[in-house]
Structure 1
Amino acid sequence: MHYIRFLKAPRKIQDSSGLQSLSAVITITTDLGDAFLYSDLPLVVELEDTHGRKLQDGGKAKEYVWRGSDGFKGLPVEVPIGIQTMRAGTEVKMVIRAKEEQNMVEDFEHVLGQKASGSGDEGSVVTLRGLPDGNGIVERVFKYGNGQDIHVWEESGESIARHVWDAGLILSAYLSTIFRETPSSMPLPRLPALQTILSKSDISVLELGAGCGIVGITLCQFLPNISEMILTDLPEATSILMHNISLCSPAPNHSVLDWSQPLPAPIASTQWNLILIADCTYNPDVVPDLVQTLGRLADGNKDLMVLLAMKVRHASEAVFFTLMKKGGWVIRESTKLPLPVLGGEEEEIEIFVFGVST
């Protein structure tokens, strides 16, 4: 999967006749930003108001082509602001998306590859939204159900810890299908043990390494029977995590949690039913602390389950499974979900449900 990002955030510019436009420089990279999109991709750049309504009073969408085959690493884009919008003083938002539906990610079904087939190379590219002078944060919006949205803001800077990552996005989309009222257009593998625990009348959920909070926030919107949910991460993620939580209703809680330190008292004193972990096993140096934290949470709690989503990036991540086995954890169930990559080989996200060995 690839993500459209800003190299230079949107800003208003004005020509000699007084007409205004929004201008920015974008790039398209993988979730970690460690590789650019090397395929060509038609793009659409348009304007919305802050409620997500398209603005079309002269501010027509513009089309561009990302020429990854030519080694593009950045692309200047610009879209005019309509005269009526200017006069009304409407706050505008720049939206950059793939032109073709088979490449567009704006819906949880798109995330899972459930979209209309089309000609050409298929792969997922996540749409980007940003305000002028957006204080270093940008927006991702994912639709689900009948006109409902999950809004997740992430930092536009270099810190990968405060971005949406592939496994967290796929897990969020997968969780949304469990509670879907209408049948999915593509059958997905089911995890019965996970569905059983999520169907309990009163459950408590803790997320470790929440980052932007997309997984916990998604589950909180779909699961009315949560008695307590806390999203945790290191202090540097607090600002973006709290921003996203503040936009939710119902909203989870937040706590700082360093895996190398003792559990905070409110977390240690709770009998958790489910622990969420996504995109947290890529750094083998912190995996021992992660597994030790899980052991503390499982102390005296034999029914605790851990839901893990990961994209294997290197062989050293196998140490997580070795340490989990030594710590008395067993895999109750698992599945794999495809991750189409434009211009590359298909990848996959692995999902595991762990329980305490009896």
Structure 2
Amino acid sequence: MFFYISFLRPPPTQSSPSTPIHITPQISNDLRTEPYTDSQDIYYSWAPYPQPAHPPPPSLPPQPTSPTQYLKTTRPIKLTTYRPSSLFKEIPVPPPLGVRENQQWQLILSATPSKTPNYIIDLGESNVGHGIPFPVISMPVVFSAKGVSKGGGGKKQERVERIYRFSNGRAGGEESGNTEVVMDFCDLKITEQTSFDLDKNDQFREQKIWDSGIGLSSWLAEFKASDQNRLGEPLDILWDGLFSSEARHIIELGAGTGIVSLTLASLRNSLSHLNSPTPDKVIATDLESAVPLLNHNISSNHSLYPTNTPQADILDWDEEELPESVTSLGSIDVILMSDVTYNTDSFPALLSTTSKLLRIGDKPPVILLGYKERHEAERSLWSMMESIGVRLEKIGQRRGFADPPVEIWFGRVFR
């Protein structure tokens, strides 16, 4: 599991340049149901929005391919020491030094002042999230005295951002015969919706990052960097579905913010154009209420996959018909799933949808599942999968900060 810094009381959308903003930071699990039980220093910094054009500091690694590049930020300063006993403590944050009327700045909260840059979540680390909560970035705060009430704050923000980094090794230019691996660093910016919406099952939910999405994305980044010639079965089969230089059709169920689909599309960007005249089709699906945020995250990271942009579509597991964008593919190579087991009542609908996807094309797709156990009853999915001819086997995991880990499972049709 992972721990996240977030806002119990978020920053306002607007604040006076001459007064502090007030926030309540928290550190908890992905569902915000388990507070962090130790003490932890929290540091704050400000990043101007939009970012000014500037080169990366010479001490940093090669320039990343990203919508963010390297954020120009103020020096991190200790804000508070988080303790469970002061969970609801309201804390003033000074505005950026020298802020001017109508400027916009984003607030960054992190658990360390020394890591460079300290707002990055490094998915390339196999021990991602070990020993440190993830940082968070607010949406822009408009610093303007116009229209601000005497209380000093405007409407509270309802979204946050996090930035995830991973390397995308690619071969050098074919024309020159250069086969040297060039390391591109991808910075993926994911926006989360932190206000609660009522979903179709009359349950309140947030469109935010869940542990399995991070664990599976991190595993994908490591898997792509592995030596495919040394992969035995079934990893060689999975590699072909995920990272072949031929065009691939990949569907994600319950995509949420889209982090898994967007990570995979970014990793495939250096591959998809090599041996195929047709582009990839990576389709991130979820309920209708999730699609606007999915589209936002896809467009925010367009520079990571200019040749194979993913698409978002509505796929309600309770509906009889699959969307036309899926049925028109003719074949599917991989079905992605992460954190699809939180509601066991949805399992029959999930299996029905999976069964339909398995029948598209002459060759059934393989399944890649990221799973973190929240209740032992969720494990019933494994036997239910066998009832539709799918066998799952564990191929990896990401432990994160503590148990339970995010488990990585491979599935394929066995009959």
Q: Which range, TM-score by smaller chain?
A: 0.7 to 0.9
Distance 1:263 1:109 in 2: 32
Q: Sort the Cα spacing of 1:310 and 1:73 in 2 relative to 1 into closer, same or farther, 3 A.
A: farther
Counterpart residue number, 1:162: 207
Query: In the alignment, what sits opposite 1:119?
Result: none
- 1:106 to 2:105 alignment: no
- Where does residue 174 of structure 2 map in the other structure? none
The partner residue of 1:209 within 254, 267, 280 is 254
Does residue 124 (structure 1) correspond to residue 183 (structure 2)? The answer is no
Which of 301, 311, 318 is the equivalent residue of 1:248?
301
Aligned match of 1:278: 338
Q: Which stretches in structure 2 are left out of the alignment for 5+ residues?
A: 52-69, 142-154, 168-183, 198-204, 228-233, 273-278
* SS at structure 2 position matched to 1:295: helix
Provide, for residues 229-273 of structure 1, a one-character-per-residue CA deviation record: whole Å limited to 9, x for no partner. 111100121221121112122331111110011212231232110
Q: Is the 8 A contact 1:161 1:211 kept in 2?
A: no
**Is contact 2:108-2:119 (8 Å) kept?**
no
C-alpha contact (below 8 Å) 1:193/1:332 kept by paired residues: no
The offset of 1:82, in angstroms, is: 1.4
**Structure 2 CA distance for aligned equivalents of residues 75 and 135 of structure 1:** 16
Match of 1:310 in 2: 371
Partner of 1:267: 326
Q: Displacement of 1:339 after TM fit?
A: 2.3
Please tell me the root mean square deviation across aligned C-alpha atoms, in Å. 2.7
Q: Distance in 1 between matches of 2:226 and 2:94?
A: 38
Displacement of 1:111? 6.2
The residue type equivalent to 1:67 in the other structure is: R
Aligned sequence identity (%): 24
1:118 — aligned with what? none
Distance change in 2, residues 1:161/1:338 (3 Å):
same
Matches of 1:302 and 1:110, distance apart in 2? 32
**DSSP 3-state at the match of 2:373:** coil
- Confirm or deny: 8 A CA contact 1:36 1:73 kept in the other structure: no
Question: So what's the TM-score if we normalise by structure 1?
Answer: 0.84
The 2-side partners of 1:169 and 1:81 are apart by 31
State the 1:112 CA deviation. 3.4
Task: Judge conservation of contact 2:7–2:23 (CA < 8 Å) in 1.
Answer: yes
2:381 matched residue in structure 1: 320
1:151 lines up with 2:185 in the alignment: no
Which deviates the most, 213-222 or 122-131? Answer: 122-131
Pair 157,148 (structure 1): closer, same or farther in 2 beyond 3 Å: same
- Find the residue that maps to 1:347 and give its secondary structure: coil
Answer whether contact 1:139 1:151 (CA < 8 A) is retained: yes
Partners of 1:75 and 1:111 in 2: CA distance: 34
Count residues with an aligned counterpart. 332
Q: 2:162 aligns with which of 140, 145, 153?
A: 140
Q: Name the CA distance, whole Å, in 1 between partners of 2:378 and 2:40.
A: 33
Counterpart secondary structure, 2:261:
helix
Gaps of 5+ in 1: 116-121, 183-189
With over 3 angstroms needed to count, the CA separation of the structure-2 counterparts of 1:63 and 1:227, relative to structure 1, is same
Secondary structure in structure 2 of the residue aligned to 1:24: strand
Moved more, 248-257 or 213-222: 248-257
TM-score by length of 2: 0.73
The question of whether the paired residues in 1 share the 8 Å contact of 2:42 and 2:80 is answered with yes
Q: Which moved more, 1:255-264 or 1:59-68?
A: 59-68
Could you tell me which of 282, 286, 289 is aligned with 2:349?
289
Closer, same or farther in 2 for the Cα pair 1:248/1:124, shift >3 Å? same
